[in-house]
Amino acid sequence: MLFWVFIFLLTRQSSLTQGHPNFLARAPTEASCDCTINSCRTLFNIVWGCLATIFACTWVALHQNVPDPDLGHFTLLMRKLRMMLLMIIVPEMVVGFAARQFVAAQWIAKEFDVSKTHGFFCTMGGFVSEEGHPVSNIKQLPAYIAAIRKTKTADIEDKSKGDTLSKGVAIAQGLWFVTQCLARVSQHLPLTELEVATLAFAVLSVVIRLLWLHKPLDVQQRIVVAKSDVDIDPLQEEDITPPKDRITLIEKILGGIFGDYAHYRTISSTSLPSFYSIEIDDKYTYGLVTFAGVFGVGSIFGSIHCAAWNALFPSMAEMWIWRISSVFIAAYPALAILLRVALGAWDDNTAGAVWASFMMLGYAVYPLWRLFLIILPFTTLRSLPPSAFVDVNWSNYIPHL
């Protein structure tokens, strides 16, 4: 119902759009583009630049776990497309996923004296036993670490579709978009709502790429490793219990956000869940980084949208929908952090009930406000101020006579 109310408000003509200057404009309205000189940009330039950046920040930035070897090309394409859509709707989930794998890879590299690339390859399901099961349980590693150490880093990197240089260029691309936005603000030129939304993705993309800098990209072939001859029982009885036939939606959400895969059994599977990462012994650091990645970065993501608080909107309805959505996306993760700290003084039952209620509220409302912040950047393109088409004068930043 709220969605249809939103559509009605967008289609309704606002009294502010006809004949009245909008007092929310951040840049001087007299600034305009003189197309007789090389200082203007078109609507196509704005949209194309933003969409290309969003694509680079989502599709290209995703470093998936190694898939099941029996999946076809179309299934693999749909798998990555679903993950890309999740990153657009709930980008904090991917940041938390990347943070978990970063901490796990660092811990594995230090604990077992291997490279960070080996650590990432373990946590993404790249190493499999001779039976075809991923070596992705902390109890398994001692039995397979000798064979893992024999695997050369170059052999792992050879399976990656990207190297450090290409990832560095991708990071530079995101930083370049951020630089352009800062330059427009510096020269008192307005940013469109689409550019503000893209800026949020660009900032998150830089964070994700830095976390996954040593993680192989789009690996589809695993490396088989043999178990050592030493008498090691890597898996206990509970680890070989077959997984549940059906997984509830809540379990999937918890798995994606917090890495809670209690239902997953390594020995019964041939691949890892999409957001799975090895749960290391240092559970405090693992949980702290996950929590900070999901909620801390999520609050930053929403705060960037608040930068368009005084932007020029075609209607009053769109202005308030943008403001409310931005504040909620920015405030909800921050409130989650404060609530989690406050609940530490309560008993487990009360704290669990309050936390569960707060999270259920987020699951119900958060996607709705994110949907608004996805639609609004495109609807507001129908009425941009003339100053939005003025390009940045880069000569102001270059020393010259």
* 160-176 residue pLDDT tens: 776 666 667 777 777 88
By the 8 A CB rule, do 308 and 196 touch? yes
Q: At what angle do helices 164-186 and 43-58 cross, to 10 degrees?
A: 140
Residues in a beta bridge with 390: 40
Name residues whose C-beta falls within 8 Å of residue 270's C-beta, 6 or more positions apart in sequence.
Answer: 68, 69, 70, 128, 132, 133, 134
Looking at residue 29, what is its pLDDT? 43
Q: What is the pLDDT at residue 262?
A: 64
Burial annotation 33-46 (CB, 10 A radius, 16+ → b, else e)? beeeeeeeeeeeeb
Give pLDDT, residue 284. 62
Quote the pLDDT of residue 155.
Answer: 86
Q: How far is CA 32 from the centre of its chain?
A: 36
In tens digits, the chain (401 residues) has pLDDT values of 433 443 344 334 333 333 333 333 444 444 555 544 447 888 898 898 888 888 888 887 888 888 888 888 888 888 888 888 888 888 888 888 888 888 889 889 888 999 999 999 988 888 988 888 888 888 888 888 888 998 888 888 888 776 666 667 777 777 888 888 888 888 888 889 999 999 998 888 888 888 888 888 888 888 888 887 655 555 554 454 545 555 565 566 666 666 666 666 677 777 788 888 887 766 666 667 777 777 778 888 888 998 888 888 888 999 999 999 999 888 888 887 777 777 765 656 777 777 777 777 777 788 888 889 999 999 999 888 888 888 888 777 666 54
Q: What is the pLDDT of residue 323?
A: 92
Q: Per this entry, what is the length of the chain?
A: 401
